[in-house]
Every structure is written in C-alpha cells, then in structure tokens.
Amino acid sequence: MLSFILPFIVLILVVVFIHEYGHYYFAKKYGVGVTDFSIGFGRELIGWNDKSGTRWKICWIPLGGYVKFFGDRNVFSQADQEELLKKYNKEDQEKLFVTKPLYQRSLIVAGGPIANFVLAIFIFLFIYMFAGKDFTPAVIDEVQKDSPAEVAGMQKNDVILEIDNNKVESILDVSKLILMSTSEVVDFKIFRYDQEVLLKVKPKIVAGVDNLGNKINKRIVGIKLSPYNNEINHKRLGPANALIESVKEVYFVTTSSLKYMGSMLTGSGDSSQLGGPIRIAKISGQVAEFGILPFISMMAYISISLGLINLFPIPLLDGGHLMFYAFEKVLGKPLSQKTQEGFFRIGMFLLLTLMFFATFNDLKDLGLF
C-alpha cells in the first residue's frame, strides 16, 4: 500500500503546486495580494510566511490546493464590489482581485490550467531530448483469422499510416490510437504496393487487462505488428523538434480526452474507465515501479487532465469563473450574487455526481462492488 501512496502523493503535490503557482504567478504579476498558497486542504501540517506576507502551507488532505487573494471573502465578491471597496483604503484597494481589469482577472484564473499544459510540454520536451522518441513504422506481421481486421481487408506487410486521421509516427502509436478512438468504426489508412488504401475496421470490445494488470475493456482489431525491415528507429530530438512533438502530444491528449468525455455524455463511450483518486494512486504506484521516465510521463498526462477539467464551464472550477467573466463582458457588469449562487449549486451537484461516479468505479475496480 505504501508503494502506491508515496508516488501518488509526489505526483499530486507536483501537479497541484504547478497549477496553483500558475494562479499565483499572474496574481503577483498584476499586483493582486496573495494571503495563502496551500497545497492540500484541512489542517495545516507545515507552513511559513514569505516577505510579502503570503502564507505557504501544506495541509493534511493532499487532494488539491488553492490560492487565496487579499480581501477575497467568497466566490461572489465580484458581485458586491462596491460594498467590498468601502472596507479598504486606496493602497489596499490596489491589491484587491476585484479591482483588476477583466482581462487580468481572466488570466489569473486561467493561469492554473495554462501552467498544467506548460508542465506537460516541458516533461515531454525533456523525455524526447534526453531519452528519445520512437519513429519505427508500424508493419502488420499477422492478421488473425476471422478478426475485424481480416473482415475489413487488412493484409500481412501493410504499413499503417493513419488511424482516425491521426498520423501513426511509431509502432507504439497503433494500440494507443485504437484504444482512444471513440468511434464504433475505426478508419485506417495503410500503404500497400506503392499505394494508399482506406479501410474501415469495427473493433471487438473484450474484457481484459492492461500492461499493469488493471481491468479494462479492450478494443481488438486482430493484428500483430513488427518493426519495418525489423529495424527499430528510436532517436533523440533537438530542442526545436522536441518542442514541436511535445506540443503535438499535448494537443492529441487534449482533443482525445474531449472526444472521450463527449462520447460519455452521448452514451456511446465506456464510462467504466473513468477513475478517481483511488485509481490514480494505484496506477501511479504501478508505473513508478517501471522507473522515473514512465512515472513523469504519467505526471504529464495527469497534468493535462487537471488543466483540461479545470477549464470546463462548471462553477467552482476555473472554467466556471471564466464563464462568469464572459457573461460580464457581454452584459457590461458582473452577474448578480443570486444568479451566481444558482450556478454554483448546479456546479456543486455536477462535481459531486462526477466524484461519486469516479469513486464507485475505483471501488468496483478494487473488487468491492
């Protein structure tokens, strides 16, 4: 159990710290006073004050964090700005979040998700520059009899070029792209006898386990792959190419995640794969056993997920505040406190529902249901 908990805590501390530091960075940049920078919730374990008066602390529930601004009493403070200003002198008013222009408030709020995406790009950049990236072409070595691939017309020695319009840069991309596809039918572009061929394959959904032994629903097409000419093409990239590949990976994970979430909303996606803290803790511990590179790769993917989820237009999340600012831009004034309270109740219900569903899947994964 300890082998799961320690990697999970390290992962969460780093990803949450970067997220909250994004808020902190833009707040300080625009002169907003910051009273608290907390990693975790609940009772403080350790903490200290810096020269500007910010209390940096780590609390005993390491499942998130927050940055508290000077004079920010509650989430509706933007709606009662005039009442708030009466309580502070001219100098202190300059440090209030609510007095800042709309674009500055928006950047401060968006700073957390932005920082998460930057962290992921930096991690992939480091990996591609120092460990390298695989570019081995994916060649079909065997097509299983009566499999979806055989029905679709795939043949031995076909080279897979694209899956669902995503370029296959490596033999490692094939299983990832098939697994992350949300379509009932997967589009393959293959290279055969000096020409490109488009094939549509309807995968079988079978219960199985991943490389870590966790239960998943696999999408099987029935092919075995081998390196092109049996040669592995794994190479380190220069800074420019590594940056390009890093941005492409973050973009791919982001768009694939959005498609997956969209498929769950429409009822066509596999909601059993949605997990919460328990599953993340379990997988982080398993991945950590394979070494530092797989672990920091997982950290990058978790960082992308945290940044993306926080951009959803749900009150209580960063995206909810950005939604309110969009209304403020259109209406020329903040939404009333009563209206915001209504949105926040809806947001709380949605978040609690999501947490309950994810936790139920976690417990089911552990065999408790």
Q: Where are the alpha helices (DSSP H) in the chain?
A: 2-29, 81-85, 90-93, 102-130, 148-152, 173-180, 239-266, 277-288, 292-310, 318-331, 337-365
Q: Strand 166-167 and strand 223-227: pairing? A: unpaired
Torsion over CA of 339, 344, 345 and 350, rounded to 10 degrees?
130
The domain spans of the chain are 2-130+300-365, 134-235
Residues noted as catalytic? 20
What one-letter code names the amino acid at 303?
S
The sign of the CA dihedral 305, 273, 323, 78 is negative
- Residue 365 has which token pair? 């994964």
With a cut of 50, which residues of the chain have pLDDT below it?
75-76, 278, 366, 368-369
pLDDT for the residue numbered 75: 47
pLDDT for the residue numbered 360: 57
What are the pLDDT digits (tens) for 65-85? Answer: 999 998 775 544 555 666 667
Q: Which pTM value belongs to this model? A: 0.83
Q: Give, as one character, the DSSP assignment of residue 97.
A: G
Cα-to-chain-centroid distance, residue 133: 21
Half-sphere exposure of 256 (CA within 13 A, CB side): 19
The string of DSSP letters for 171-240 reads TTHHHHHHHH--SSSEEEEEEETTEEEEEEE--EEEEEE-TTS-EEEEEE--EEEEEGGG---EE---HH
What does the angle CA 351 – CA 112 – CA 122 come to, to the nearest 5 degrees?
120
pLDDT for the residue numbered 294: 84
pLDDT for the residue numbered 285: 61
Q: Which CATH number fits domain 134-235: 3.30.70.1350, 3.40.50.2020, 3.40.50.300, 2.30.42.10?
A: 2.30.42.10
pLDDT for the residue numbered 224: 92
Considering only CA atoms, which of 302, 294, 235, 238 is closest in space to residue 275? Answer: 302
- Residue 355 has which token pair? 């947490």
Half-sphere exposure of 123 (CA within 13 A, CB side): 25
Contact 312, 306 (CB under 8 A): no
pLDDT for the residue numbered 369: 44
Q: Give, as one character, the DSSP assignment of residue 74.
A: S
pLDDT for the residue numbered 128: 95
pLDDT for the residue numbered 44: 92
